[in-house]
Amino acid sequence: MTATAEGDATLAKAAHENFPVAPRFLPRAWRGDLMAVYGFARLVDDIGDGDLPPGGADAARLGLAPGRADDRLLMLDALEADLRRVFASAHGGAPPRHPLLRELIPTVRRAALTPDPFLALIEANRVDQRVRRYATHADLLGYCELSANPVGRLVLGITGTSTPERIRRSDAVCTALQLIEHLQDVAEDLARDRIYLPAEAMHRFHVTEADLAAPTANASVRTLVAHMSDRARRLLDEGAPMMTGVSGRLRLLLAGFVGGGRAAAQAIADAGYDVLAGPPRASKGGLLYAAATTLRRGT
């Protein structure tokens, strides 16, 4: 597979997200910037999850021997070094090696982005190599600060709409989207020996790890999922007013983020909160309806 084909395969995963990554109604420059950021974020996650294409091509592009592609921490370190080349290249330094990171250069320059949110996404995947369980909801929210919230901050940076209040609202939405994704992927995560349901909540609702390994969810698991889904919905409600003061196509994009989360949460509810039989996904119609409703209400 060529470098271009592998990059296209990575970017193609955008179609399977709970929210629109770079819809066609946005200005071309914004779409290009959002896809560049998505390409980076997807690459980081694929490294952290061990989902890179076979053959070690990504390792070679990062300056490592192809056989080291399975060393996730080493790959993340190499990716961080390549990320720093993105920012150094703006001052005459060597450009990054990986093609998906080279795509970031014009985005970083155009939007005057800083390394911090990108570094946070890398650190989240380092955490995934060390932490397999979360004791409390607060611990899980701390993980979301690294794994999810930087994405929203990058979107606000690209669109030039960052304010302290909008960042706070965006963080709530991004955390909610991450929590919902965790609920959808309970079985998949458990297969990777990861559980993103807080142990305190599992204890409260009498859920064991054996319950999560079952082919379908029992009543206790369903109650726990309903509880976590409700927390995510409340975060979406808290974050939705980030649309205040925003109009036009950006307002449509933000409504898509919130609506996508609401549609995904509704899909979980429609499945009777049984996330073990298969990850509940919103239909395109459900997503459009939720986004339109969010847009009309403005919250």
Give, as one character, the DSSP assignment of residue 82: H
Is pLDDT above 60 for 262?
yes
* pLDDT digits 0-9 by tens, 23-40: 788 889 899 999 999 999
Residue 58 near residue 69 (C-beta atoms within 8 A):
yes
- Looking at the chain, the whole-number percentage of residues with pLDDT higher than 70 is 93
The C-alpha atoms of residue 209 and residue 56 are separated, in whole angstroms, by 34
The burial of 240, by beta-carbon neighbours within 10 Å (0-12 exposed, 13-18 middle, 19 or more buried), is given as buried
* pLDDT digits 0-9 by tens, 209-228: 999 999 999 999 999 999 99
pLDDT, the chain, mean: 92
Mean pLDDT of 153-172: 95
Is pLDDT above 70 for 237?
yes
199: Cα within 13 Å, side-chain hemisphere:
7
Is pLDDT above 50 for 294?
yes
Is pLDDT above 50 for 2?
no
Comparing 298 with 150, the larger pLDDT belongs to 150
Give, as one character, the DSSP assignment of residue 92: T
CA angle, residues 268, 193, 271, in degrees to nearest 5: 10
Residue 135 near residue 198 (C-beta atoms within 8 A):
yes
Is pLDDT above 80 for 10?
no
The burial of 97, by beta-carbon neighbours within 10 Å (0-12 exposed, 13-18 middle, 19 or more buried), is given as middle
The C-alpha atoms of residue 235 and residue 85 are separated, in whole angstroms, by 36
Is pLDDT above 50 for 3?
no
Give, as one character, the DSSP assignment of residue 133: -
Give, as one character, the DSSP assignment of residue 53: P
Helical (H) or strand (E) element with 93: none
Mean pLDDT of 133-138: 98
The count of other CB atoms within 10 Å of the CB of residue 16 is: 8
CA angle, residues 238, 242, 243, in degrees to nearest 5: 125
Q: In this structure, which amino acid lies at residue 181?
A: E
pLDDT at 90: 79
Is pLDDT above 90 for 76?
yes
Structure confidence at residue 296 as a pLDDT band (50, 70, 90): confident
Contacts of 183 (CB under 8 A, 6+ apart): 225, 228, 229, 232, 268, 275
pLDDT at 1: 38
Least confident of 89-93, 130-134, 218-222, 268-272: 89-93
Residue 68 near residue 59 (C-beta atoms within 8 A):
yes
The count of other CB atoms within 10 Å of the CB of residue 244 is: 13
Residue 288 near residue 25 (C-beta atoms within 8 A):
no
Is pLDDT above 80 for 11?
no
The size of the chain, in residues, is: 299
Structure confidence at residue 15 as a pLDDT band (50, 70, 90): very low
